[in-house]
């Protein structure tokens, strides 16, 4: 089943993507599906392509999981935030039966990059959340330091879209193989 996104929603989602991420200024997004406030897209950038799993609360709050061939990133954005430059903080992530405190760093004045660790060592934790969500995990509760109320991220709604995200990942790996083959076998 293919779910289409209306043109105004695509424009809004593209604007949110552009605001939330620093490394895809010239990116082109292809939206593959959406349901229950979640959207899946394939973002092609000249330097790096990725699959995005984007939740839009429709109240100015968004959560985005990005998966590249080598890394995974989690960005939380609130249009009402005015975060200081070089912010370093922690957030608590609570699932059904466990919780963990992880580092976060400011990614612009309105966004936090969760599990922001050096040398892509955040990828395993973010990959774990993405894979668990695709398998039907319970919603996540995220607690922030300061006076920001807890957020409930409806990860339980992602499960019906697992085939769409899987096809996005297949596209990501297929495009990588084509680039590697053409660069190695056809240097001229």
Closest C-alpha to 2, from 153, 134, 161: 161
Mean pLDDT of 53-64: 96
Residue 128 or residue 123, greater confidence: 128
Cβ neighbours of residue 72 under 8 Å, at least 6 residues apart?
A: 65, 66, 122, 123, 126, 127, 130
pTM (predicted TM-score):
0.78
Mean pLDDT of 102-122: 81
Q: What CATH number belongs to 7-182?
A: 2.60.40
Per-residue pLDDT tens over the stretch 125-175:
888 899 999 999 999 999 999 999 999 999 999 999 999 999 999 999 887
d(C-alpha 175, C-alpha 96), whole Å: 36
d(C-alpha 146, C-alpha 106), whole Å: 14
pLDDT for the residue numbered 70: 85
d(C-alpha 65, C-alpha 130), whole Å: 7
Residue 9, pLDDT above cutoff 50: no
Cβ neighbours of residue 37 under 8 Å, at least 6 residues apart?
A: 55, 56, 57, 58, 154, 157
């Amino acid at each position: 089943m293919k779910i289409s996104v209306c043109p105004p929603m695509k424009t809004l989602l593209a604007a949110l993507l552009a605001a939330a991420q620093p490394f895809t200024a010239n990116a082109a997004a292809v939206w593959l599906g959406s349901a229950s406030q979640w959207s899946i897209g394939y973002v092609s950038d000249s330097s790096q392509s990725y699959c995005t799993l984007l939740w839009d609360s429709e109240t100015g709050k968004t959560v985005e999981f990005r998966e590249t061939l080598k890394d995974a990133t989690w960005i939380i954005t609130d249009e009402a935030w005015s975060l200081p430059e070089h912010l370093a903080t922690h957030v608590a992530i609570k699932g059904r039966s466990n919780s963990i405190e992880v580092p976060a760093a400011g990614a612009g004045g309105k966004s936090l990059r969760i599990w922001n660790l050096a040398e892509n060592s955040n990828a395993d934790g973010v990959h774990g959340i993405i894979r668990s969500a695709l398998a039907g995990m319970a919603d996540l509760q995220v607690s922030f330091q300061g006076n920001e109320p807890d957020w409930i991220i409806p990860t339980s709604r992602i499960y019906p879209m697992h085939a769409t995200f899987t096809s996005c990942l297949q596209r990501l790996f297929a495009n990588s193989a084509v680039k590697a083959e053409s660069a190695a076998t056809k240097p001229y």
